[in-house]
Every structure is written in structure tokens, then in C-alpha cells.
């Protein structure tokens, strides 16, 4: 199979939650082997964007091409095949609590590949080695620390050697040392396996360290999608306030303000 140049190609994506518009005309691209960081404050729509990239929701309009296939048009079987090339590490890890760490990591293999028990066990141990969790495969998720859970989730995400890896808030809730180690791990994975990695985060430091390119989201729109240097140099006030951690000072329109306060009363 020919590897397309663009691993991710989102164009004119619009999504609604009920009648509320969450994402508005989102377009961005990521090349194979690139680390794309999606950045934005709380409520900017970055989690929603991630959920759409994962094919968990149907968008209102627009297209999402992953590895050359438009996931909004795929049927269940084609999506099933594509998922073998996608790995996801969720924010809270989302390890299955009823299984050991090792069984968690083996699960994608068990579902997608016909391998014997020992091969699967060796493969899952190899991935646990990669994330420095060797020897922990018989523990239950409840017995792990926050950082270990994230690393175990990462091991499960890469066990199929996916071409696309999605990582939701790798540093949320972790101390600086552990999150720096995770950043390091992401870089190693990209270099060793040429994965395209999408990281959703609001941590500036981590974003600048790992990103090849950054997409900045704000209130459901893309402010910019460019290289790290370009984002740093941007003179967009919203980006600057995100970079400098200044609170937003928006001018309030008095009429709109009155309308919001008195809605459904008069």
C-alpha cells in the first residue's frame, strides 16, 4: 500500500452538540511522521475535535481523512480495518479495571490478530519495556500510580504498531518530572516508528518541546496551524494571551449582555 503524504487531512469540519455549534470550519493537515499538537484553553473544542478524529461521533459537515480514507464515509468494516492503524491513549488512561495491565495491553492483539498466547505475551511485554513498565504486567490498574497508568495506556495504544497515535492530555495531573519523561517517550516513539502523533494538551511547555507543528483552537475555530516558531512569533492577541497566560479581556456588548440576562423572562 502506498503511504499517502498526508496522514491526517481535516477539511471544513463543522460539529454541533444538540443545537450548539462546537467546532466551526476546522481545517488542518498533518504529515506522516509529524507530531501535531492541538492546543487550546478549556472549552476551546479540542476534546471534541479529538473525539471526531477518533471516529466516535459523526460531524455535521466536512471531512476527516485519516491515512487517505475519509472516516465520515467509511462503513463499519472499513473503519474496523483502519482502527488497526490507530492507537489512542486517553486522558484518564481508560484501562479496563477488570483486567491486569498485561491483559489490557494484549487486548488489541487478541481482537485483531490471530496469534498464540505466548507471542501475544511477548509482544505486550515488549511494549511495556518501551514505556518502562517491565515487570508490571500482572498488576491491576488500580494498583498503579497516575503516571504509570498513562504509560500503560500508551503501551496499549502502540501494541499494534499503529501509524497514527492520539494522545489526550499526556501531562494532565502529573508532576513535571513524570510529564517530561512522557514527552521524551513521545519523541522516541516518533523517531523509532515514524508514527504520526496527535497530542491534545493545554501545557505550553510540553507542547513547544514535542511539537513539529501546533494547531491552536479557540472557541471552536482554528486560530492558526503552523510550526512552533511561527506560533511563538504570532501577533494574534488570543494566541499571545494563551502563551503569556494573561486573562482574556473582551469588550462586552451592552445590548447582548442585557439580552442574555433577560432571556426568556420578558
Q: Provide the binding-site residues for other proteins, judged by CB under 8 A.
A: 51, 54-56, 76-77, 79-80, 83-84, 86, 88, 90-92, 94-97, 107-108, 111-112
Q: Rounded to the nearest 10 degrees, how much is the dihedral formed by the CA atoms of 99, 57, 54, 204?
A: -100
H/E element holding 64? Answer: strand 61-66
**Whose Cβ is closer to other proteins: residue 49's or residue 222's?**
49
Strands 35-39 and 196-201: parallel
Q: Which three cell numbers stand for residue 99?
A: 483486567
**Whose Cβ is closer to other proteins: residue 196's or residue 234's?**
196
On whether the CB atoms of residues 10 and 181 are closer than 8 A, the answer is: no
**Whose Cβ is closer to other proteins: residue 92's or residue 176's?**
92
CB of 92 to other proteins, least distance (A): 6
What distance in Å separates the CA atoms of residue 40 and residue 238, rounded to the nearest whole number?
A: 10
- Which residue is listed with cell 494571551? 241
CB of 152 to other proteins, least distance (A): 12
Chain centroid to Cα 136, Å, comes to 25
Residues in the chain: 266
CB of 91 to other proteins, least distance (A): 7
What distance in Å separates the CA atoms of residue 31 and residue 44, rounded to the nearest whole number?
A: 24
**Whose Cβ is closer to other proteins: residue 79's or residue 204's?**
79
CB of 166 to other proteins, least distance (A): 8
**Whose Cβ is closer to other proteins: residue 88's or residue 186's?**
88
What distance in Å separates the CA atoms of residue 22 and residue 265, rounded to the nearest whole number?
A: 26
**Whose Cβ is closer to other proteins: residue 86's or residue 133's?**
86
CB of 168 to other proteins, least distance (A): 9
Q: Which three cell numbers stand for residue 10?
A: 481535516
According to DSSP, residue 142 is labeled G
* Count of helix runs (H) and strand runs (E) in the chain: 10, 10
CB of 224 to other proteins, least distance (A): 28
Amino acid at each position: 500500500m502506498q503511504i499517502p503524504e498526508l496522514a491526517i487531512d481535516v477539511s471544513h469540519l463543522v460539529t454541533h452538540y444538540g443545537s450548539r455549534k462546537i467546532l466551526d470550519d476546522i481545517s488542518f493537515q498533518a504529515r506522516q511522521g509529524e507530531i501535531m499538537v492541538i492546543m487550546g484553553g478549556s472549552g476551546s473544542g479540542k476534546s471534541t475535535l479529538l473525539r471526531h478524529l477518533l471516529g466516535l461521533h459523526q460531524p455535521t459537515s466536512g471531512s476527516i481523512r485519516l491515512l487517505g480514507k475519509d472516516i465520515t464515509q467509511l462503513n463499519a468494516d472499513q473503519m474496523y480495518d483502519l482502527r488497526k492503524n490507530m492507537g489512542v491513549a486517553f486522558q484518564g488512561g481508560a484501562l479496563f479495571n477488570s483486567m491486569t495491565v498485561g491483559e489490557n495491553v494484549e487486548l488489541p492483539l487478541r481482537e485483531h490478530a490471530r496469534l498464540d498466547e505466548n507471542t501475544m505475551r511477548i509482544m505486550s511485554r515488549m511494549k511495556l519495556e518501551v514505556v518502562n513498565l517491565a515487570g508490571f504486567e500482572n498488576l491491576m490498574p488500580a494498583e498503579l500510580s497516575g503516571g504509570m497508568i498513562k504509560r500503560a495506556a500508551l503501551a496499549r495504544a502502540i501494541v499494534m504498531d499503529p501509524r497514527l497515535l492520539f494522545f489526550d492530555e499526556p501531562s494532565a495531573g502529573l508532576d513535571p518530572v513524570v510529564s517530561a519523561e512522557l514527552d521524551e517517550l513521545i519523541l522516541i516513539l516518533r523517531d523509532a516508528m515514524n508514527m504520526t502523533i496527535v497530542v491534545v494538551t493545554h501545557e505550553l511547555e510540553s507542547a513547544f518541546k514535542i511539537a513539529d507543528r501546533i494547531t491552536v483552537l479557540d472557541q471552536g475555530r482554528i486560530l492558526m496551524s503552523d510550526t512552533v516558531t511561527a506560533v511563538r512569533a504570532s501577533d494574534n492577541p488570543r494566541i499571545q494571551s494563551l502563551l503569556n497566560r494573561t486573562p482574556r479581556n473582551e469588550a462586552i456588548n451592552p445590548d447582548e449582555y442585557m439580552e442574555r440576562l433577560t432571556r426568556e423572562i420578558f
